[in-house]
């Protein structure tokens, strides 16, 4: 007579629950590890921002070399651009924790601060182009995402061709009061949008060449 082995139903359930809990635990660890990496980079960037803001303030009082100011700002913007790219990749793979979304918000704030701190430098030196790219990070519409993807490529290509661009991609839908005020000030209602040198606002980009035509 064959013995029934129904206990396996419960045993398999216990094993599956154990595997799932272990998987979730490692998943959370992995995402927390990614958050920690970005947090460390963010700390460095915060110091660099404070430095950039101090430099910017000095330009108001003293006659500092505009080239140095330009280079310092562009280098800093490039650095946080690379960090934000890494952050976005981690954010895309993050499913369990909300740490990445908070970091995304912090980076948006960091870039907003850089944007504001550059207003006066740009007015005085006028030797580089400040390009603020406002996009929506939480919009799941495929057409909007595709459009933003192509805008990123156009802006990156433009930046590669032109060393005088300070490119600041900022997620506009982060509920940041300072950012919302700046957006209102420029009268922006649709996204994605491009603000060139705090003056011209573009809602459509056709090509690298046509966009470059708006630069000084």
Point out which residues bind other proteins (CB under 8 A): 1-2, 4-6, 8-9, 11-13, 15-16, 19-20, 23-24, 26-27, 30-31, 34, 85, 89-90, 92-96, 142-143, 145-147, 149-150, 152-154, 156-157, 205-208
The distance of closest approach from Cβ of residue 20 to other proteins in the complex, given in angstroms and rounded to an integer, is 6
Instruction: Name the residue nearer to other proteins (CB basis): 47 or 150.
Output: 150
Q: Which residues contact 112 (CB under 8 A, 6 or more apart)?
A: 170, 176, 178, 179, 182
The distance of closest approach from Cβ of residue 133 to other proteins in the complex, given in angstroms and rounded to an integer, is 14
- C-alpha span between 196 and 172 (Å, rounded): 16
Distances (CA, A) of 8 to 2, 11, 14, 17: 15, 5, 10, 14
The distance of closest approach from Cβ of residue 24 to other proteins in the complex, given in angstroms and rounded to an integer, is 7
The distance of closest approach from Cβ of residue 25 to other proteins in the complex, given in angstroms and rounded to an integer, is 10
73 close to 128: Cβ distance less than 8 angstroms: yes
DSSP code, position 6: T
Give the pair of three-digit tokens for residue 120. 């006066």
Instruction: Name the residue nearer to other proteins (CB basis): 163 or 207.
Output: 207
The distance of closest approach from Cβ of residue 138 to other proteins in the complex, given in angstroms and rounded to an integer, is 11
Instruction: Name the residue nearer to other proteins (CB basis): 100 or 183.
Output: 100
- For the chain, strand residue ranges (E) read 129-135, 165-171, 193-196, 200-202
In DSSP terms, 90 is beta-bridged to none
Strands 165-171 and 193-196: unpaired
Instruction: Name the residue nearer to other proteins (CB basis): 33 or 71.
Output: 33
Instruction: Name the residue nearer to other proteins (CB basis): 61 or 92.
Output: 92
Distances (CA, A) of 57 to 50, 68, 107, 181: 10, 14, 21, 22
Instruction: Name the residue nearer to other proteins (CB basis): 27 or 180.
Output: 27
The distance of closest approach from Cβ of residue 148 to other proteins in the complex, given in angstroms and rounded to an integer, is 10
């Amino acid at each position: 007579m064959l013995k029934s082995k129904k206990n396996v139903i419960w045993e398999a359930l216990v094993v599956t629950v154990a595997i799932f809990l272990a998987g979730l635990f490692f998943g959370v660890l992995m995402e927390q590890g990614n958050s920690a990496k970005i947090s460390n980079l963010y700390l460095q960037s915060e110091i660099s921002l404070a430095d950039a803001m101090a430099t910017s303030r000095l330009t108001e009082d003293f006659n500092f070399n505009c080239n140095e100011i330009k280079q310092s700002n562009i280098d800093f913007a490039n650095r946080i651009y690379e960090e934000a790219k890494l952050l976005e990749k981690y954010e895309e793979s993050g499913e369990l924790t909300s740490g990445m979304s908070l970091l995304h918000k912090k980076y948006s704030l960091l870039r907003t601060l850089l944007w504001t701190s550059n207003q006066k430098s740009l007015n005085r030196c006028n030797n580089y182009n400040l390009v603020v790219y406002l996009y929506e990070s939480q919009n799941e519409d495929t057409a909007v995402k595709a459009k933003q993807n192509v805008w990123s490529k156009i802006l990156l290509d433009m930046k590669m061709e032109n060393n005088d661009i300070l490119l600041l991609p900022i997620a506009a839908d982060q509920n940041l009061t300072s950012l919302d005020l700046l957006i209102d000030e420029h009268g922006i209602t649709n996204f994605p949008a491009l603000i060139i040198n705090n003056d011209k606002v573009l809602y459509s980009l056709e090509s690298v060449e046509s966009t470059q035509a708006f630069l000084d």
